[in-house]
Amino acid sequence: MTATPAVDVLIVSLGSTGGLRAADMELAQSLRRAGASTTIAPAAPPRRMRTLALTDLGWALAARRAAHAELARGTPRAVIYSSTTAALLWPRPGAIRFDAPSAGNRPGRHGLWQRPLERLRLGQAPLLLPWSEGGLREAPSAARREDRTLVLPVAVDPSPAEDRLGMGESPGEPGVPESRSESVAGARDIAAITYAANPSKKGLDRVLEAWRRVRLPSEELLVAGATAEALRVAGFDLSAEEGVRLAGRLSSEEYRALVRRARVFVCAPRREDYGIAQLEALADGCLLVTTAAPGPYTALPLARELDPRLVGEDLGAALRAGLDAPAPDYAARALEALAPFRRAAVDRLVAEQLLPRLLT
């Protein structure tokens, strides 16, 4: 007996990071706004492995199990695998959405088995959905035909409280209802914030070194996205750092509330596969201070265009430029530059280009 249609689109979600989970939820909501029924099949996190190759195998097997379970309930009209890792052991071909392929972020032994299988899957997929043009350029050339690719950014909008600021309301403290907030509307009472969910890759050591050199006694750097234990495992101990406070792992709402209060978002990634945190910071009015990095770093050209003083290898000088002499129209120009990444723009892409190609 043939399985009955379950939904229009099944998203097989790797969800190995908060950013990936949020991106999958955004895509599902955009598909639903376009009129397509959509289900997310989340992969269960595998146990910790000692190498990236084994970690990817664990996640690929988890994604396969999640897809199998959902396919057993019915036959969706289309499947989207969120990341190339989710597609490596797929039970059924489908579109592949990815920030960066293993060809770019799994060099040498780290991608020994993933890269050849990834090339096969990218060639077999009926549609490739890279987050950026840079991510597409890292895919094998044979898979990059225009008729089978659609660049589909992750939607990034100002966080809801930021929208309300424009109507005279004040931002709330993290975890505190808006009505109880004592903040002044539009106040930026945190000097700098950084996101350190993967501290070595994100260059937390470079950020701390620059901060030690240039901070003023009254200034504080907030480190978000990681617990003290996770940082210790990675070789970081913030307890002795002056002018540095650990915010820990936060909900998206709590994190964005802190970003709205920060003057500068600072980072120095060793590689950047996209940069959702940087785009969110721009959307919420932060100045982006960053070094250049290999990979499809989507926010990098935006940061250079907005204020080239804030992009460079001398992170300390860039920090002081952002804190001491911010361009007065930076936030407004940042929102204009983010227009292709806003939810409305992504919704148009989904409704006008993605769905017709998925469901035909």
pLDDT digits (tens, 9 = 90+) for 107-156: 888 888 888 999 999 999 999 999 999 999 998 887 888 789 999 999 99
221-224 and 244-248 beta bridge pairing? parallel
Closest CA to 222 of 266, 184, 181, 253: 266
Where does the pLDDT of residue 186 fall: very low under 50, low under 70, confident under 90, or very high at 90 and above? Answer: low
Say if residue 175's pLDDT is above 70.
no
Angle (nearest 5°) at CA 283 between 281 and 287: 50
Query: Among residues of the chain, what percentage have pLDDT more than 70?
Result: 91
The one-letter code for the residue type at 100 is A
The predicted model scores a pTM of 0.88
Closest CA to 358 of 126, 14, 105: 126
- Report pLDDT for 89: 97
Helix (H/G/I), strand (E/B), else coil: 276: helix
DSSP 8-state secondary structure symbol assigned to residue 39: E
Q: Taking the CA of residue 116 as centre, how many other CA atoms within 13 Å lie in the half-sphere pointing to its CB?
A: 3
d(Cα 150, Cα 37) in Å, to the nearest integer?
21
Q: Give first-to-last CA distance, the chain, whole Å.
A: 23
Where does the pLDDT of residue 167 fall: very low under 50, low under 70, confident under 90, or very high at 90 and above? Answer: very low
Each residue of 265-285: pLDDT tens digit? 999 999 999 999 999 999 999
Distances (CA, A) of 102 to 114, 308, 352: 7, 31, 29
Say if residue 172's pLDDT is above 80.
no
49/322: higher pLDDT: 322
Q: Token pair of 133, please?
A: 């043009």
- Report pLDDT for 168: 32
290/21: higher pLDDT: 290
For residues 158-186, give the mean pLDDT: 42
Please check whether residue 260 is in contact with residue 171, taking contact to mean a CB–CB distance below 8 angstroms: yes
Q: Calculate the CA 288 to chain-centre distance.
A: 15
Q: 137 exposed, middle or buried (CB, 10 Å; 0-12, 13-18, 19+)? A: middle
Each residue of 77-119: pLDDT tens digit? 999 999 999 999 999 999 999 999 887 778 888 888 888 999 9
- Report pLDDT for 4: 52
DSSP 8-state secondary structure symbol assigned to residue 139: S
Where does the pLDDT of residue 12 fall: very low under 50, low under 70, confident under 90, or very high at 90 and above? Answer: very high
Closest CA to 29 of 343, 354, 256, 349: 343
Please check whether residue 346 is in contact with residue 30, taking contact to mean a CB–CB distance below 8 angstroms: yes
Q: Token pair of 343, please?
A: 């939810």
Say if residue 48's pLDDT is above 90.
no
- Report pLDDT for 102: 84
Each residue of 283-302: pLDDT tens digit? 999 999 999 999 999 999 99
What angle do helix axes 276-283 and 252-261 make, rounded to 10 degrees? Answer: 50
Where does the pLDDT of residue 174 fall: very low under 50, low under 70, confident under 90, or very high at 90 and above? Answer: very low
What are the structural domains, with CATH classification, of the chain?
Answer: 9-155+342-358 (3.40.50.2000), 160-340 (3.40.50.2000)
Closest CA to 197 of 13, 17, 48, 52: 17
